[in-house]
């Protein structure tokens, strides 16, 4: 083989697709994303600033009305609470998962991954059974003697927070697990050999190295919680709306499109800004379970 043919071999279309084929293969993807994702969102943003006439009034109505402001604050607070609860509940599970072996590891993984692939409606429905007046939570509390009267649990913000944490917990556990798995075992052993207590090893070696996973999981949970619709709509109180349920009400009952569009605008811009700021830490591919 001459030098010329060899270089032709490596630089021919044997390795790289031609520009035209690349474009043709990408075309369906860009077309569907443009028409079914970018266009409808942009159309809403345009409506929010152009209707009934070019104005920022629709956005002013979000900020000026104390009721709407309370909805925004409640949404942020709920998302923060759900994120914090997910870290507290999720980190130890991720840590345990990263250390477990064999059957135990498989069992824990199934418990974390199965809910991720089961319907949000199934999980929300389950909580609405559990939170009934005569449901499991109330009967457990009463049989433990903690209360003599059943609590009103359904249609409260607590119900929303608990079930949202339940639904979003896997989104926290998997990124933290990914980060913990990438810490070599030698680091912990080295710290132990040098005389660090297990607690100190954890605080000074494991925790700092797992921080990217915690940040990534927190963002994922927070971003999803901000726009969550099903759980607040089914378990929350109509007096304590979140932004998504307010949007739904504006469209289905009030039919106020420009205002609903402005609400969607606030939500979309806020979420996109957060995602851009933290774009380096977000690792979505880890969610598919092939974090290799």
- Per CB under 8 A, contacts with other proteins among 152-211 are 163, 166, 169-170, 198
Q: From the CB of 89, what's the least distance to other proteins, in Å?
A: 5
Sole binder of other proteins in the list 72, 79, 112, 153 (CB under 8 A): 112
Give the 3-state secondary structure of residue 65.
coil
Q: Which two tokens stand for residue 94?
A: 């991720």
The 8-class DSSP code of residue 12 comes to S
Candidate segments 11-19, 49-57, 183-191, 209-217, binder of other proteins by CB under 8 A: 11-19
Mark residues 216-245: x for contact with other proteins by CB under 8 A, - for none.
-------xx-xxxxx--xx---------x-
Of 269, 257, 255, 264, give the one whose Cα is nearest residue 50: 257
Sole binder of other proteins in the list 93, 160, 179, 180 (CB under 8 A): 93
Which residues, 6+ apart, have CB-to-CB distance to 150 below 8 Å? 133, 134, 138, 141, 142
Sole binder of other proteins in the list 51, 59, 87, 96 (CB under 8 A): 96
How many Cβ atoms sit within 10 Å of the Cβ of residue 162?
Answer: 20
Burial string for 188-200 (b: 16+ CB within 10 Å, else e) reads: beebeeeebeeee
Sole binder of other proteins in the list 15, 53, 101, 280 (CB under 8 A): 15
Mark residues 50-79: x for contact with other proteins by CB under 8 A, - for none.
------------------------------
* Binding flag, residue 260, other proteins (CB under 8 A): yes
* Binding flag, residue 251, other proteins (CB under 8 A): yes
Of 241, 90, 291, 271, give the one whose Cα is nearest residue 171: 90
Q: From the CB of 145, what's the least distance to other proteins, in Å?
A: 18
Count residues near other proteins (CB under 8 A): 93
Sole binder of other proteins in the list 92, 189, 211, 277 (CB under 8 A): 92
Of 256, 284, 212, give the one whose Cα is nearest residue 65: 256
Sole binder of other proteins in the list 69, 111, 211, 277 (CB under 8 A): 111
Which residues, 6+ apart, have CB-to-CB distance to 1 below 8 Å? 9
Q: From the CB of 14, what's the least distance to other proteins, in Å?
A: 4
How many Cβ atoms sit within 10 Å of the Cβ of residue 237?
Answer: 15
């Amino acid at each position: 083989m001459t030098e010329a043919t060899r270089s032709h071999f490596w630089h021919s279309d044997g390795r790289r697709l031609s520009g035209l084929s690349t474009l043709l293969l990408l075309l369906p993807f860009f077309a569907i994303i443009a028409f079914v994702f970018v266009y409808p969102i942009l159309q809403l943003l345009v409506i929010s600033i152009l209707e009934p006439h070019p104005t920022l009034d629709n956005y002013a109505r979000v900020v000026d009305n104390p009721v709407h402001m309370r909805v925004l604050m409640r949404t942020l607070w709920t998302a923060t609470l759900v994120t914090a609860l997910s870290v507290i509940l999720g980190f130890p599970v991720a840590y345990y998962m990263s250390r477990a072996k064999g059957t135990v590891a498989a069992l824990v993984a199934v418990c974390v991954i199965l809910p991720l692939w089961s319907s949000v409606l199934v999980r929300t429905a389950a909580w609405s059974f559990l939170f009934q007046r005569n449901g499991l939570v109330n009967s457990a509390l009463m049989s433990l003697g903690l209360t003599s009267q059943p609590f009103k649990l359904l249609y409260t913000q607590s119900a929303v927070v608990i079930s949202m944490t339940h639904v979003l917990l896997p989104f926290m556990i998997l990124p933290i697990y990914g980060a913990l798995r990438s810490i070599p075992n030698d680091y912990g052993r080295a710290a132990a050999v040098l005389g660090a207590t297990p607690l100190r090893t954890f605080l000074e070696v494991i925790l700092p190295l797992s921080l990217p996973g915690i940040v990534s999981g927190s963002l994922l949970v927070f971003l999803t919680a901000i726009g969550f619709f099903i759980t607040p709509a089914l378990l929350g109180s109509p007096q304590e709306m979140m932004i998504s349920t307010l949007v739904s009400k504006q469209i289905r009952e009030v039919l106020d499109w420009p205002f609903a569009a402005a609400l969607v605008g606030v939500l979309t811009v806020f979420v996109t800004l957060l995602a851009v700021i933290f774009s380096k830490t977000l690792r979505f591919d880890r969610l598919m379970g092939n974090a290799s």
